[in-house]
A and B are shown apart, each in its own frame.
Chain A
Amino acid sequence: MNETPPPGPVLADFSDSIGPMVVKELRQGLRTRSFTWAFLFVQLLLLIFMTGGFTESSDSRDTAGSFWFLLQVTLLVVMPLRGLNALNAEVRNNTMELIALTRMSAWRIVSGKWLALMSQSVLLAVAVLPYIVIRYFFGGMNVVAELILLFVVIGLSGVVTALMVGLSVVSNFLIRSFFTVPAVVLVFRFLGESVYRVSRGDGLAPFNLGLWAWIGILPAAIYLGYYLLDMAASRIAPEAVNYASRRRISGLAVFVVSLVVAHGWAVSGALWIPFLFFGLFAMDALSEHPPMVASVDEPFRRHPLGAVLRIFLAPGWWSGTFYVLLLSALTRIAAELAPSVWMNSGISPGGEMEGLVLAFTASLLTPLAVMLLSRPSHPQPIVSYCLTAIFLGAIAVSLMPLIERGDLSELMMLVMVIPPLSVFSILSQSLESDTLTWIRFLQTVMIILSMVVVFWKKMRVREAMAASRREEATL
């Protein structure tokens, strides 16, 4: 007689091949109302579009437009936005610490969150494939182009989700919104463009960017996603775990490559990518707590070049300042080697270019100095850093109309000390050489002042650490 196995809480073993965080997030995520409703809603609307789309009077291009609009809103906005609370919710519910006490590394926690969200997005995308097949049977569609578009949308969804999961580590709502809103706006621009093209039957047209563009954009987007997740991981990792150095090394390599590609691409706006990376890497490096744990320093002590590498790569804002100066120097060198690219972007070699690099560097270092003077022990330095940077940026934006009116009075020349204002001024108009010299002088002073604050604070941290180690040695 066959015996039935006793009923009990037995779980399948297939899931052992998947990360614990992915399993947990999928178990929870697939039960959430946001996923269930998004799934049902998409299916229902697609059904309505399809039914209405194939009546005799309808235009297949309208159906395509509606189809892609709905799919992109779901994959590029609704699903990624679910990640905006991913890490913050764990911190708020006091569960992050419990997870941190397991063997799971911070990277596995963060990447698991991302992977689970992406799996749900892919599930949604796969569920709409039958509708693509139906549309193919009724004709009037470019299958290859639309499949490529589907892959691009899924890829872009991955980057936006990574941005949201990365941001979810930040407790401050304003900071999260500050980065989320522009991302959503950019996504909608892409969405609008591609829906328009697809509905006209152009298919691949919006992606006809050329080889250099693909070489630049595709890996840059993938790296950006990785970087944001890694940045979030290092914010939840214990101090003894050093994620920062590997990120800075990879960042340096990517930055150099992005400069080369931008110079090879040689179109207007090509410099945006290296400058985007520059800003992101700087914000990350300058908003790290210096670890008080001796074991972090161990690899630098063992390595023959450790003393030099430590200056740029050790975690914490101290080495972060030198890292930013290194990126700044590399940008300057690249500009000297290929000034034509800068001219394509409307920046003349010499004064403007030098002023821009100096002002951009000062814009990144000044918030650090302000943060160290005002709130040195903020539990999340990235919040303090970003709020200062946003504040300085807001002042610069509010003063820009005066600059654009050409009102460069003595007072206005003095307010050029605000680094972002100098950046905006150089980018928005061609300035006279005297003004440029003044900007270069002011921004050099700002960089030096920031460095003085950083050195002073570093000395204080070093004294505290030395006192702590002396105390430990006597125990």
Chain B
Amino acid sequence: MNPPPLPPLDPPPVPAIRVEGLCRQFGKIRAVDGLSFSIAQGEVAGFIGANGAGKTTTMRILATLEYPTSGVAQIMGTNVMDYPARVREMLGWMPDNFGTYDNMTVIEYLDFFARALGYRGKERRERVDEVMEFTELNKLHDRLINKLSKGMGQRLCLGRALIHDPQVLILDEPAAGLDPKARVELRHLIRILAQEGKTILISSHILSELGEMCDTLIFINAGKVVHQGTAESMKRHGLETAVVQVGILGDPARLEQWALMSPQVKYLQATKDGAKLEVADGSPQALAALLRRLIGDGIEVVDFRREERNLEDAFIEMVGKLDREGGGR
């Protein structure tokens, strides 16, 4: 008897954002140079790079506000160049500088965009109320928008981007110029949106925040992707060696002697109860073997920690390395 046919496999979900070989030339300057990456649905991706790396241009192309010189940019499988109207329905865009109007209150601002997005009557009022509640702008509904603080302005801008409940959000430097409290509040809102399953592409210069919020980080330099992966992978990007901090019982000088006898280990500096060692192979297996050897050689290890670079350090090192190699502009 033939086995029952297998149920057809579901096609792999379309990436929420797909960019392939994207180029954008402004006169003689190549702002984006063959950029390729993709972001799965429901993922939160951080977009990082030095000023002028091409982040905003890429985001503006994805938001249908700029045209690429060549290449493909898609939102939920739809080409942004050919079908901008369709893309705009799926997309919420928050620019780095929030444009204001004179003589307009918070509620009128949101109401205008709700109307412009096709909401009518009760539905429109409900959408505006929902957004005001989410962004906690209810109390400020009759405040003129050009009198809002930067933080409130960013909330309003996020609210506007959310009016039509888009599946994909592109946020360009939303935390720029915000005080710590406003940044925490904004991060909280973004976390809630991520939990709701929205795909978010967010650029920021505050890398530690991005590292906490994002599933993946895309680091671009001179219009090209240099690295894409988790925050952890970015911290270790380009690192073949690892630095470990070892604490022992007894005389710390023993560690120096032990390091001299070990070809793969370099003694860096002494610490209060041990030393910092550089290990040639930074893989987890090699580190486990190192610890085993230390214990096997009779050293009483009480502390064994891999020293992590923070994201800022990793970013600066990567940019510096690219500059030295001539990869930067």
Q: B-contacting residues of A (Cβ < 8 Å)?
A: 9-11, 13, 15-16, 20-21, 23-24, 27-28, 31-32, 93-95, 97-104, 238-241, 292-295, 377, 464, 467-468, 471-472, 475
Are A23 and B115 interface neighbours, CB within 8 A?
yes
Contacts of B129 in A (CB 8 A): 9
Q: Which residue of B lies closest to A11 (CB)?
A: B111
9 A-B pairs with C-beta separation under 8 A: A9-B138, A16-B124, A24-B108, A27-B104, A95-B101, A101-B93, A103-B85, A472-B71, A475-B71
Instruction: Confirm or deny: B127 has a beta carbon within 8 angstroms of a beta carbon on chain A.
Output: no
Are B99 and A94 interface neighbours, CB within 8 A?
yes
Instruction: Confirm or deny: B70 has a beta carbon within 8 angstroms of a beta carbon on chain A.
Output: yes
- CB < 8 Å neighbour of A475 from B72, B102, B108: B72
CB of B32, distance to nearest CB on chain A (Å): 13
Chain B interface bracket (under 10, 10 to 19, 20 to 34, 35 or more): 35 or more
A31–B117 alpha-carbon span in the complex (Å): 24
Contacts of A471 in B (CB 8 A): 21, 70-71
A462–B143 alpha-carbon span in the complex (Å): 52
Instruction: Confirm or deny: B155 has a beta carbon within 8 angstroms of a beta carbon on chain A.
Output: no
Are A94 and B27 interface neighbours, CB within 8 A?
no
Contacts of B107 in A (CB 8 A): 9, 11
Contacts of B132 in A (CB 8 A): 9
Contacts of A9 in B (CB 8 A): 107, 128-129, 132, 138, 141-142
Mark the stretch among B59-67, B296-304, B318-326 that contacts chain A: B59-67
Are B99 and A239 interface neighbours, CB within 8 A?
no
Contacts of B88 in A (CB 8 A): 101-103
Instruction: Give residues 77-117 of B contacting A (CB, 8 Å).
Output: 81-85, 88-89, 91, 93, 95, 97-104, 107-108, 111-113, 115-117
* Known A24-B108, A475-B72: A238·B64 in contact at CB below 8 Å: yes
Are B81 and A293 interface neighbours, CB within 8 A?
yes
Q: From A99, A100, A377, name the one whose CB has the most chain B CB atoms within 10 angstroms.
A: A100
Instruction: Confirm or deny: B12 has a beta carbon within 8 angstroms of a beta carbon on chain A.
Output: no
Q: Which residue of A lies closest to B160 (CB)?
A: A98
CB of A302, distance to nearest CB on chain B (Å): 15
Contacts of B116 in A (CB 8 A): 20-21, 99, 102-104
Q: Which residue of A lies closest to B27 (CB)?
A: A377
Contacts of B103 in A (CB 8 A): 27-28, 31-32
Are A238 and B21 interface neighbours, CB within 8 A?
no
8 additional A-B pairs beyond A94-B98, A95-B101, A238-B84, beta carbons within 8 Å, are A15-B115, A28-B101, A32-B102, A97-B93, A98-B93, A103-B85, A103-B118, A377-B27
Contacts of A104 in B (CB 8 A): 116
* Known A93-B99, A471-B71: A27·B21 in contact at CB below 8 Å: no
A20–B108 alpha-carbon span in the complex (Å): 11
Are A20 and B93 interface neighbours, CB within 8 A?
no
A348–B135 alpha-carbon span in the complex (Å): 73
Q: A-contacting residues of B (Cβ < 8 Å)?
A: 20-21, 27, 63-65, 67, 69-72, 81-85, 88-89, 91, 93, 95, 97-104, 107-108, 111-113, 115-118, 120-121, 124-125, 128-129, 132, 138, 141-142, 160
Contacts of B108 in A (CB 8 A): 24, 27
CB of B192, distance to nearest CB on chain A (Å): 22
A97–B98 alpha-carbon span in the complex (Å): 11
Contacts of A20 in B (CB 8 A): 112, 115-116
CB of B82, distance to nearest CB on chain A (Å): 4
Are A101 and B63 interface neighbours, CB within 8 A?
yes
Contacts of A21 in B (CB 8 A): 116
A241–B103 alpha-carbon span in the complex (Å): 32
Are A240 and B118 interface neighbours, CB within 8 A?
no
CB of A291, distance to nearest CB on chain B (Å): 9
Contacts of B124 in A (CB 8 A): 16
Are B83 and A16 interface neighbours, CB within 8 A?
no
Are B67 and A292 interface neighbours, CB within 8 A?
yes
Q: From A20, A99, A293, name the one whose CB has the most chain B CB atoms within 10 angstroms.
A: A20
Q: Which residue of A lies closest to B106 (CB)?
A: A9
Are B72 and A472 interface neighbours, CB within 8 A?
yes
Q: Which residue of B lies closest to A28 (CB)?
A: B103
* Known A97-B95, A104-B116: A295·B102 in contact at CB below 8 Å: no
Are A16 and B120 interface neighbours, CB within 8 A?
yes
Are B121 and A13 interface neighbours, CB within 8 A?
yes
CB of B118, distance to nearest CB on chain A (Å): 5
CB of A238, distance to nearest CB on chain B (Å): 5
